[in-house]
């Protein structure tokens, strides 16, 4: 089955002339060649994404995609699904980790209700909005996805609409950098299922503790996910797998990634769940990966395999597994530093500093 979703075409950023110019500019800075390590590679990547030898990141947007998962009825999470809406309220109140880190770094924060089992506008006048909140529920899935151990998490039409919602919301965001965050009790299960199916891995390799399951609970979770994979054995194409396993927040994030890549925004990817969205987007349009910077390697078991499958390396490795976009916010200053180095650091010529010279041959005695 193929969904009737019109996938945007993402073309490669490869521009040999720009790549050479950026590399030469980095090599002429007042430092030994390559001595700033991965900051240099990061600067080069951002320059290529933005198409500039003097890249500047403007009006960064942290978007936290939130949704509930019907599979939580099978006990795959240590927390009840009510935590999803409670944490969304915490984001909006400015009390969550990502709220603090976004505020610290001057990053605008928007929370998107993709399908949370809660009415965040209850009691407000008709048409009223809440600052920092976008409601993008999908008809028929207003309270989250279906239980994927019984039937597909989303219908093809619901999945398509979630993708469309993600594209549309990015079109209206300012700036040239999108930071991905998420919230959804049960979404590590959806991410594990997507990894197993799209990367061809055994589900045991892809399944971790999520919000804090002990070893026996992880074993039970793995068994449930194995059932889900068997039930949806025919869902092998990327969008079929996305519809089968969910979630709404991941599907909306996939649409957002595709649109951000189309617009040549820098996409700063958080942890396991956000990378699952990129995994799907990459399967649809491989050149998406050129626009993505991976913030950190999560402590969630499957994330390392996900990064390996994509062939990428994350910037940080700090044992983070909170989600929300917290790792992306922590990594954000590294992107700013990479751009500043490229724009502002002096060259040997401009600073009047001597470049490396070859050692003179030893004089005969």
Residue with tokens 């910077």: 293
E strands within the chain? Answer: 61-67, 108-115, 133-135, 177-183, 266-269, 292-294
**Angle made by CA atoms 203, 67, 327, in degrees to the nearest 5:** 70
CB-CB contact of 177 with 265 (8 Å) = yes
Determine the 3-state secondary structure of 179 from DSSP: strand
Active site residue 324: yes
- Tell me the CA end-to-end span of the chain in Å, nearest whole number: 82
Structure tokens at 108: 């605008």
- The four Cα atoms 134, 6, 141, 194 give a dihedral, to 10 degrees, of -100
Catalytic residue among 54, 89, 324, 344: 324
| DSSP character at residue 122 | T
Beta carbons within 8 Å of 123's beta carbon, 6+ residues apart: none
Phi and psi at residue 174, to the nearest 5°: -75, 175
Q: What are the b/e assignments for 120-141, b being 16+ CB within 10 Å?
A: beeeeeeeeeeeebbebbbeeb
Pairing of strands 108-115, 133-135: parallel
Beta carbons within 8 Å of 157's beta carbon, 6+ residues apart: none
Determine the 3-state secondary structure of 89 from DSSP: helix
Nearest C-alpha neighbor of 229 from the set 153, 166, 176? 153
Catalytic residues: 324
């Amino acid at each position: 089955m193929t969904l009737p979703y019109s996938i945007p075409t993402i073309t490669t950023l490869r521009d040999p002339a720009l790549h050479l110019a950026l590399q030469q500019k980095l090599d002429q800075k007042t430092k030994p060649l390559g001595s700033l390590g991965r900051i240099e590679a990061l600067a080069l990547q951002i320059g290529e994404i933005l198409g500039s030898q003097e890249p500047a990141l403007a009006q960064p947007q942290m978007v936290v995609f939130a949704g509930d998962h019907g599979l939580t009825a099978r006990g795959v999470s240590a927390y009840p699904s009510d935590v999803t809406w409670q944490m969304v309220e915490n984001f909006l109140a400015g009390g969550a980790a990502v709220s603090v880190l976004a505020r610290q770094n001057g990053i605008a924060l928007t929370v998107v209700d993709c399908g949370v089992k809660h009415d965040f506008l209850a009691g407000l006048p008709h048409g009223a909005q809440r600052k920092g909140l976008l409601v993008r529920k999908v008809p028929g899935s207003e309270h989250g996805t279906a239980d994927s151990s019984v039937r597909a998490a989303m219908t093809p039409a619901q999945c398509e609409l979630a993708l469309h919602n993600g594209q549309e919301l990015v079109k209206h965001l300012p700036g040239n950098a999108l930071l991905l965050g998420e919230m959804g009790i049960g979404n590590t299960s959806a991410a594990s299922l997507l990894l197993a199916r799209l990367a061809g891995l055994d589900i045991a390799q892809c399944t971790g503790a999520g919000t804090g399951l002990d070893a026996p609970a992880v074993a039970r979770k793995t068994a449930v996910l194995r059932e889900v994979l068997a039930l949806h054995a025919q869902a092998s194409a990327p969008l079929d797998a996305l519809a089968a396993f969910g979630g709404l927040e991941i599907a909306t994030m996939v649409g957002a990634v595709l649109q951000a890549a189309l617009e040549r925004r820098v996409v700063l990817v958080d942890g396991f769940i956000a990378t699952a969205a990129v995994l799907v987007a990459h399967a649809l349009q491989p050149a998406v990966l050129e626009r993505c910077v991976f913030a950190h390697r999560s402590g969630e078991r499957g994330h390392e395999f996900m990064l390996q499958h994509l062939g990428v390396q994350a910037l940080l490795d700090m044992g983070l597994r909170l989600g929300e976009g917290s790792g992306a916010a922590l990594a954000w200053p590294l992107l700013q530093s990479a751009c500043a180095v490229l724009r502002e650091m002096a060259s040997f010529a401009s600073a009047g500093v001597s470049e490396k010279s070859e050692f003179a041959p030893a004089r005969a005695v």
